[in-house]
Amino acid sequence: MKREVSDKTILDKFAEDFCKVVNSHCKYIICSGFVAISHGRSRGTEDIDMIIEKLSLDKFEKLHNDLIKHNFECMQSDDPKIIYWDYLFKKDSVRYVRKNQFLPEMEIKFAKDEIDNYQLNSRIKIPFTRLDVYFPKIEEAIAFKEEYLKSEKDLEDARHLRIIYEGKIDEDYIKQFKKRIKKIKL
């Protein structure tokens, strides 16, 4: 019997499988802690954060049904109309898991402002991670963690990314993005 060895974690595989479905329906980015984790930062998490472009109810229903078809389920409801109107439309997040599993979770929310939309439009795949998923630019992830989130965990994530990309990040871009964050989100 031949075994296939993979260097991808359960979280990596979950993210790629989920993103593959979402990508066929809309733009998305994986953000927050998983950006640092995918770059080798050792810290626990049970969820992955995703921002998707704001969809009409019809388009969201198609996305939701496709996720169901691919063995995912929403923890809040089976009804896409409830998910849409009671959560996403009200700027709340929802969580999807693989059917009959509680972890890991994909926490998704609609883009809320021009910062989220900008990141969706400038999204990139990062070769370093070896993952087939879209992320915000590293500078944007660092700026967001340092300027907006600011928890100890987020500041450690930003420090980790700064170490990984030492000499390769654009500090002016980070400063300008922090100014945008202050103007839009704070």
pLDDT average, residue stretch 174-186: 93
CA angle 106-102-73, nearest 5°?
60
Q: What is the pLDDT of residue 33?
A: 93
With a pLDDT cut of 90, the percent of the chain lying above it is 90
Q: What is the pLDDT of residue 31?
A: 96
pLDDT tens-digit series, residues 109-126: 999 999 999 999 999 999
Q: What is the pLDDT of residue 58?
A: 98
Q: What is the pLDDT of residue 66?
A: 98
With a pLDDT cut of 70, the percent of the chain lying above it is 97
pLDDT average, residue stretch 140-152: 97
Could you tell me which residue, 3 or 16, shows the higher pLDDT? 16
CATH fold label, 10-137: Beta Polymerase; domain 2 (3.30.460)
CB 48, CB 168: distance < 8 Å: no
Q: Considering only 36-45, 94-103, 106-115, 175-184, which range has the smallest mean pLDDT? A: 36-45
Q: What is the pLDDT of residue 6?
A: 62
Q: What is the pLDDT of residue 43?
A: 83
Q: What is the pLDDT of residue 4?
A: 52
pTM of the model: 0.93
pLDDT average, residue stretch 148-159: 96
- What 55-64 contacts at long range (C-beta under 8 Å, 24+ apart), as own/partner pairs, is 55/25, 55/26, 55/110, 57/81, 57/84, 57/85, 59/25, 59/26, 60/84, 60/88, 62/25, 63/21, 63/22, 63/25, 63/26
CB 70, CB 21: distance < 8 Å: yes
Q: Considering only 4-8, 13-17, 67-71, 138-142, which range has the smallest mean pLDDT? A: 4-8
Work out the pLDDT band at 5, boundaries 50, 70, 90: very low
pLDDT tens-digit series, residues 64-105: 999 999 999 999 999 999 999 999 999 999 999 999 999 999
